[in-house]
Amino acid sequence: MVELTRLGMRFPTPKGEFIALKGVDLTIKKGEFVSLIGHSGCGKSTVLNLVAGLTLPTDGGVIVDSREVDGPGPERAVVFQNHSLLPWLTVYQNVELAVKQVAKQKEQGKGKAWIKERTEHYLALIQMQHAADKKPDEISGGMKQRVGIARALALQPKVLLMDEPFGALDALTRAHLQDSLMKIQADLGNTIIMITHDVDEAVLLSDKIVMMTNGPSATIGEVLDIQLDRPRNRVELANDPQYQGYRQSVLKFLYEKQLHPQTDDEAESVSKPLKAKVTFASDIKRA
């Protein structure tokens, strides 16, 4: 389970403190697929970085499986838009690196055969066995993204964090990868938090769509539960009234309710700590 409680982030800037996020409360159940959607600059990446532990909050905190996040950890893997593969390693070696990391953490120690079997397993999962010996600059953007996902999955994370993973891909490759991701999640049951700008992608993939208000002091505006049966088929859903209804709700939020950004004056206001039920490291630092 992932719990965001009173989560806030204030950045120091030459013009004073900038309140990027304020009072974000969200509970994500194990195995849930949650999308974060909102206008550019509203704070989606900031939320993801806080859950990843890449940045630490100035207010509130994040709890993953009963532990407060105080830095990056192997139970939380991140997939970025620009597939950050190591260019001097082959596709196989890029995935193997993550498998070896897990092998090192396992108590009984895992041997070469286990590493080979697991690496091949993750390559098969993303259908990249044929390109195992290629270097990242010899494969397409979609393929690189697939390898990035395999590498993240190979870490066996409880939570997979994805920052616009398919944003840079063409529509067909994107559709193919979305379908693969749905299948992989059905098999492995990871909790996934994904940032997207694509309304159809959010409705098709998610159990929950978290819609964020415009910044400064961005927070969660609405949460939409997507109750479409799985497995989901994009072609069948295209004319499904329930699917269309969800789509309309997100579009309405983005283009009617949140069309106008808040004024810059709100950026000047300093957030007041809310009454704490749980004490986070950020509360202690502030005291």
Contacting residues toward ligand ATP, per CB under 6 A: 11, 13, 18, 20, 38, 40-46, 215
State which H helix or E strand residue 285 sits in: helix 281-286
User: d(Cα 81, Cα 56) in Å, to the nearest integer?
Assistant: 22
For ligand ATP, give the closer residue by CB, 20 or 226.
20
User: d(Cα 178, Cα 45) in Å, to the nearest integer?
Assistant: 20
CB of 13 to ligand ATP, least distance (A): 5
For ligand ATP, give the closer residue by CB, 150 or 210.
210
If you search the block for the tokens 């066996």, which residue do you land on?
156
For ligand ATP, give the closer residue by CB, 48 or 154.
48
**Which residues lie across from 154 on neighbouring strands?**
none
For ligand ATP, give the closer residue by CB, 32 or 164.
164
User: d(Cα 89, Cα 99) in Å, to the nearest integer?
Assistant: 14
CB of 28 to ligand ATP, least distance (A): 18
For ligand ATP, give the closer residue by CB, 47 or 153.
47
User: d(Cα 194, Cα 208) in Å, to the nearest integer?
Assistant: 11
CB of 42 to ligand ATP, least distance (A): 4
β-pair type (208-212, 33-37): parallel
CB of 267 to ligand ATP, least distance (A): 9
For ligand ATP, give the closer residue by CB, 12 or 111.
12
CB of 19 to ligand ATP, least distance (A): 9
CB of 197 to ligand ATP, least distance (A): 7
CA distance readout (Å), 57 to 36, 194, 250, 284? 18, 19, 28, 12
β-pair type (220-225, 59-64): unpaired
**Are 202 and 165 in contact, with CB atoms under 8 Å apart?**
no
Query: Over the Cα atoms of the chain, what is R_g?
Result: 20
Q: What is the largest CA-CA distance in the chain?
A: 60
Please count the helices (runs of H) and the strands (runs of E) in the chain.
Answer: 10, 10
CB of 44 to ligand ATP, least distance (A): 4
For ligand ATP, give the closer residue by CB, 184 or 209.
209
